[in-house]
Amino acid sequence: MARDYYGTLGVEPKATDQEIKRAYRKLARELHPDVNPDESAQARFREVSTAYEVLSDPEKRRIVDLGGDPMESGGGAGAGGFGGAGFGGGLGDVFEAFFGGGGTARGPKGRVQPGADSLLRTKLTLAECATGVTKTITVDTAILCDGCTGSGTHGDSKPIRCETCGGAGEVQSVQRSFLGQVMTSRPCPTCRGAGETIPDPCHKCGGDGRVRARRDITVKVPAGVSSGMRIRLAAQGEVGPGGGPAGDLYVEIIEQPHETFVRDGDDLHCTIRVPMVDAALGTTVTLETIIDGPTEITVDPGTQPGSVSVLRGHGMPKLRSGVRGDVHAHLEVIIPSRLDGKQSKLLQEFKNLRDRDHAEVVSTGSPNTGGLFSRLRDAFSGR
């Protein structure tokens, strides 16, 4: 009595080849010995493999549909074990079920491939980052070959089908394993997976469809950029093999140090040295800002060392926004280290007028305590 191969796979006699393949792959995932070591599952797996071998072969399936059994006359050994010839017929789909491919042919990849992205770094001054700039940069990348316009052929010649792989783009080899015969595929060494070769390649690009060249590109840098930011220039990168579409070009910003300002996000910090007398009496200092030019900073009378004067809205612009950061001017009071006789006399007179001012040791818990020691104390105490 003929075996019910359709019933073994759980499909109808009118099932399509794709439905049979899906049913087999589903059962193979459940019953494969690497997944299910149970002996009954292994026996069932052999039956499923045999059924798929029969139904995936048009001639054997025709015999089944006529009421016969193509395996009865020794036409296969699918139930004879993993080393049998019958199992080899469906091995490619076992690997496809578990590893997403295996012996299934993928076809030629074609000569035309998309190009790779490129990265270029450019240095900008702080002023250029603040105001934005249009720069011309030189790029050394692959461009479309003007001798063949990407075809890779010379004159009127045309690509031909690869004789090694027959246009498949890959070659196959069969090896024996504990599972039976294993068919593996690898890119064709002659055409490198393209499926075709060029008998008369372009004399300029050698058949690649692209050549390396140096060219100038204009880059518009918006105001507010900073180090590490990248500007994307679409389709300005490498042209792909076979004249494929170009990748993108990324321009990375490298911000150079400024002699006056240190940048912190959108804020700028600088240090202004103020003589002791000016700090006591008060003064104004002209600061050359990045965008607004000369700007006056007021030093209030009695300014203490470490004070900070803030210019609101005079810092760096926020990217793609009209808002700007601040300028923080850190005031450093300069005490003269050498005095002549007249200066010493005048300071002594000033000291006599302020007889209440004298050096003292203050408590670290005093709210009026300032200076380096208190700042260090606050830092370590978490204040």
Same domain (yes/no): 94, 10: yes
Of 99, 121, 146, the residue that ends a domain is 99
pLDDT of 368: 55
Here the tokens at position 194 are 């393209």
The CATH number that applies at residue 308 is 2.60.260.20
Query: Tens of pLDDT along 219-249?
Result: 999 999 999 999 999 999 999 999 889 999 9
pLDDT of 177: 60
For residue 313, give its domain range: 258-335
pLDDT of 380: 46
Q: Judge contact between 103 and 181, C-beta under 8 A.
A: no
Same domain (yes/no): 10, 88: yes
Of 99, 116, 134, the residue that ends a domain is 99
CA distance 225 to 234: 19
Whether the full predicted model's pTM is greater than 0.85, yes or no, is: no
Q: Judge contact between 129 and 226, C-beta under 8 A.
A: yes
Give every residue of the chain whose pLDDT is below 50, as ranges.
Answer: 73-105, 372-373, 376, 379-380
Looking at the 3D structure of the chain, how many domains does it have? Answer: 3
Same domain (yes/no): 299, 355: no
Sign of the CA dihedral with 66 first, then 68, 74, and 79 last:
positive
User: Is residue 51 assigned to a domain?
Assistant: yes
Please tell me whether residue 34 adopts helix, strand or coil conformation. coil
**Residue 129 vs residues 233, 253, 262, 320: alpha-carbon distances, Å:** 18, 9, 13, 12
Same domain (yes/no): 366, 316: no
Same domain (yes/no): 312, 353: no
Q: Torsion angle of alpha carbons 96, 100, 103, 104, nearest 10°?
A: 90
User: Is residue 300 assigned to a domain?
Assistant: yes
CA distance 56 to 90: 8
Helix (H) / strand (E) element for 175: namely strand 170-177
pLDDT of 94: 47
pLDDT of 364: 62
Same domain (yes/no): 322, 375: no
User: Is residue 79 assigned to a domain?
Assistant: yes
Same domain (yes/no): 331, 352: no
Q: Torsion angle of alpha carbons 138, 252, 239, 144, nearest 10°?
A: -20
Q: Which of 47, 50, 54, 85 is nearest to 68 (CA)?
A: 54
pLDDT of 347: 87
User: Is residue 278 assigned to a domain?
Assistant: yes
Task: Give CA angle at 382 (378, 383), nearest 5°.
Answer: 55
User: Is residue 150 assigned to a domain?
Assistant: no
The CATH number that applies at residue 86 is 1.10.287.110
CA distance 221 to 225: 8
pLDDT of 93: 45
User: Is residue 318 assigned to a domain?
Assistant: yes
pLDDT of 58: 86
pLDDT of 366: 55
Same domain (yes/no): 365, 292: no
User: Is residue 107 assigned to a domain?
Assistant: no
Of 73, 99, 125, the residue that ends a domain is 99
Q: Which of 180, 181, 182 is nearest to 82 (CA)?
A: 180
